[in-house]
């Protein structure tokens, strides 16, 4: 897999290897909905290469910030080249902040499982393989943890997938923003081969599948 640091100089090279984009599954609405009380809520989502996770959530109404970074692991090893070795314990992830008066956590979970991650894959998503590409939810409070557990259990019984759900619900062990060249990558590099093949179709599917949640403007940072 090519170094994504090299993309700053060679933007046409794919950082994450690419051959095809993932299928879209329309996950059901959550039976257990979230009761967010603050003016702003934040949670962490890991679902493969963080470019696509960030791209989709940045087009969801109510999302006010989406930051690519590394979840878990140690601060000292939270750099792309080190994390890419797959043995630091980090996951490529996105810290999402939203306005709960516009969108709820359970609705973000529905978007995540419908468009972003294949929850049956373990330590990989699409063409990207390694523990750093695992599918994981990192709730930041007890309410989010309650809703996440209930929704994963609901999906496990839904029959939408022939294989068991492998998405982990992980405790928060730190989040470290990724290098600046990874931030807002899809918005800054719409013609990049990886974005066009893997991530742009997910954003298009968000607009088609959940038009009430879609916004055309990309939320930066």
C-alpha span between 115 and 24 (Å, rounded)? 5
DSSP classification of residue 169 = E
Cβ atoms < 10 Å from Cβ of 154: 17
C-alpha span between 76 and 78 (Å, rounded)? 6
Per the annotation, the verdict on 16 as an active-site residue is no
β-pairing, 91-98 with 168-169? unpaired
Radius of gyration of the chain, Cα coordinates, nearest whole angstrom: 16
Residue of 49, 91, 155, 186 with catalytic role:
49
C-alpha span between 95 and 43 (Å, rounded)? 6
Which sequence positions are flagged as catalytic?
49
């Amino acid at each position: 897999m090519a170094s994504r640091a090299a993309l700053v100089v060679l933007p046409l090279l794919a950082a994450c290897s690419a051959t095809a984009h993932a299928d879209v599954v329309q996950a059901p609405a959550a039976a257990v909905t979230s009761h967010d009380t603050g003016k702003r809520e934040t949670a962490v989502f890991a679902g493969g290469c963080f470019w696509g996770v960030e791209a989709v959530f940045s087009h969801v109404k109510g999302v006010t910030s989406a930051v690519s970074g590394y979840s878990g692991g140690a601060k000292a090893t939270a750099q792309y080249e080190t994390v890419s070795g797959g043995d630091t314990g980090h996951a490529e992830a996105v810290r999402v902040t939203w306005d709960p008066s516009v969108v709820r956590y359970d609705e973000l979970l529905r978007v995540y499982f419908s468009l972003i991650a294949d929850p049956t894959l373990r330590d990989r998503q699409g063409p990207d393989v390694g523990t750093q590409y695992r599918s994981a939810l990192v709730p930041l409070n007890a309410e989010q943890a309650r809703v996440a557990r209930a929704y994963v259990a609901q999906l496990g019984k839904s029959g939408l997938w022939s294989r068991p759900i492998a998405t982990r619900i992980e405790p928060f062990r730190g989040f470290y923003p990724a290098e600046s060249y990874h931030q807002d990558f899809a918005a800054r590099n719409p013609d990049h081969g990886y974005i066009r093949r893997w991530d742009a179709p997910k954003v298009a599917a968000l607009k088609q599948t959940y038009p009430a949640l879609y916004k055309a403007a990309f939320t930066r940072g």
